[in-house]
Amino acid sequence: MSEIKRMGYYAGAWKTSQATEYFPVTDSSTGEVIAEVPNCTAKECEEAIAAAQEAFPAWANLSMAKRVQYLFKWREILYAHKEELSILCAKELGKTLNEARGDVQKAIEPTEEACAAPTMIQGDAALQVTTDYDTATYRMPLGVCVGIVPLNFPAMIPFGWMVPLAIVCGNTVVLKANNLTPLTSMRMLELFYEEGGFPKGIVNLINTDNVNAEILTTDPRVKAVTFVGTTNVGKHVYSIAAGHGKRVQAQCEAKNHALVLEDCDLEATVNAVINSTYGCAGMRCMALPVVCVQESIADRFVALLKEKAEKLVIGCAYKEETQLGPVVSEAHKAKIIGWINKGIEEGAKLVLDGRDCHPEGYENGHFVGPTILDHVTPEMTVGTREIFGPVTCIKRVRDYEEGIAIMNANPYANGSCIFTSSGYYSRRFVMDTDGGMVGVNVGIPVPSAYFPFSGNKDSFFGDLHVLGKDGYRFFTRAKTVTTHWFDDTAAKRVVRTWEGSTEQ
């Protein structure tokens, strides 16, 4: 084991934890424990909130122009350290180097969006709404905001989705890093202060268990909670935090479906499915784990998918040639294999088996190879529940109508895709699908940071999504000001009004 991380960063410095329990962090490619992070105490969680609360007034009162200048500098720091952060992400999570570079890049893009805050956060004003009265709406900071980070994007989600818009709007932040993949986030926060020069306490980070994390959703000093993770936990966070008067956005699980019609470009469609299903080893909420294929081309589609999946280079995440890396932990590997076994028990046909995957030299890594389950029917749980691994479920459908009905019957609605040459069916799909992010001949319909990440149904709980205009609204509150300046004559008129006259 290389090191024990002391704790999180709050009040602008590392703090030595009084924890008695530590969470191991592994190199996913080798299985080796490379670090341990403490299960911070309840008192330490409260101290992190206190640090953010103390930093809030001065940061909120800093001009927008100066806050943006900090973020311009932060953007350059991220670019300068992109490779270092990418390697760290690949090690602790298992993403390939290119995927990890994408993770860091997706932290940079929302930072760039935050640099546009002076135009994005402008309020509304109206002169002469009634005689001699003007009204304006301002967007004001909230205070302390909490970010609860998932395991699968340790750069993008904390320092893309959670930090940039929150702080440019004048808030301060407490991050709960994920206990399986905390190292990338911790290193980014070191850079945030050591090279970025941000005032102490603007962003704070802790590691803790779910019991102590409850403090982050109930403490009265916390004004907003943004969460990414499982639906069960997301519902809990949403209900508890909202019940304590906080605004909440909870991005949760997904079971994204694609509808592949017989007039699609077969080669391009399979390539898109390979990328979206097996990219990040399937550990992302915008993966494409279910493909509804029109029966007339299903055999050809499955054969080509298997052929391409078998050619993927599986190996160490931080080697350039690797195309499919490991999953995050041995426990998660066992969970994925359990789902594959469940699918077989339910009657799915195993076309490609990734359960016994041990790349040479990395036999102790957490590897699951690409897996294809064909003839998955709607009643099978393997085709309904999130697996979060490199597993493709094939559902064969007669036509568009059956396909869209199966897709919309799913309780999740993060993303959905259609592959077709038909403009008619493409437009129908955009209108008919429950998916919040829709792809037409696009396997991963994630919008740029200038648009909201807009999941639906059991994939999201809240009113305002992350990023885009929704993000700015989430991290600010409206204050509407009505102003009246009057001369002596107007003052007398106001006095008469108060005495009972209706004159204005």
Closest CA to 155 of 96, 204, 97, 101: 101
Cα 100 from chain centre? 15
- Cα distances from 262 to residues 144, 259, 396, 411, 438, in angstroms, run 52, 10, 12, 26, 19
Q: What is the DSSP letter of 462?
A: E
Please work out, in degrees rounded to the nearest 5, the angle formed at the alpha carbon of residue 30 by the alpha carbons of 25 and 34.
Answer: 30
Strands (E) across 131-177 are located at: 133-141, 144-148, 172-176
User: In whole angstroms, what is the distance from residue 465 CA to residue 109 CA?
Assistant: 17
Q: Of 285, 292, 393, 417, which is the active-site residue?
A: 285
Active site residue 316: no
Structural contact between residues 31 and 331, judged by C-beta atoms closer than 8 angstroms: no
CB atoms within 10 A of CB 104: 26
Tokens of 274: 């390979």
Does the CA dihedral 26-27-31-33 come out positive or negative?
A: negative
Close Cβ partners of 156 (under 8 Å, ≥ 6 residues apart)? 103, 104, 106, 107
Q: Which residue intervals of 115-263 are DSSP H helices?
A: 117-120, 156, 164-168, 183-194, 210-218, 231-243
In whole angstroms, give the CA distance from residue 147 to residue 159.
10
* Residues classed as catalytic: 285
